[in-house]
Amino acid sequence: MLTKDEVLKVAKLARLNLTEAELEKYQKQLSDVLVLFKKIDEIDLNNVAETSQVTGLDSVFSEDEVKCKESQTCCTTDELLSGVPIKDDSAIKVPKVIGDSNA
């Protein structure tokens, strides 16, 4: 079972302020999760082939192609970027909006 100090450390890393009731609740829940991981870790998978795809489909993605509907106006990248204040080739540049996390 995880200690309260270990749960508090995880909570601090996640920037959570836990009440005493939450601390006890999460102490049990996190401990239960770790027990399940330990059980999974004990399973012998040496003769089990890797599974990277289970649906049998080769590709679920269609080719990228530009299609204009009647209700839309097709335009070039340059036309789309004509009103952008800051750009780099075909990329739109925006100013940083997230401040320093130490502030």
Give the Å distances, CA to CA, from 15 to 10, 12, 18, 78: 8, 5, 10, 44
Q: Kindly indicate the confidence band of residue 102, based on its pLDDT and cuts at 50, 70 and 90.
A: low
The domains of the chain are located at 4-41
The stretch 47-75 carries a mean pLDDT of 80
The mean predicted confidence, pLDDT, of the chain is 86
pLDDT digits (tens, 9 = 90+) for 2-32: 999 999 999 999 999 999 999 999 999 999 9
pLDDT digits (tens, 9 = 90+) for 67-87: 777 777 778 778 888 888 888
Give the Å distances, CA to CA, from 91 to 46, 77, 78, 94: 47, 10, 11, 10
Poorest-pLDDT segment among 23-32, 41-50, 92-101: 92-101
For the full predicted model, state whether its pTM sits above 0.85.
no
Q: Is the pLDDT of residue 46 over 80?
A: yes
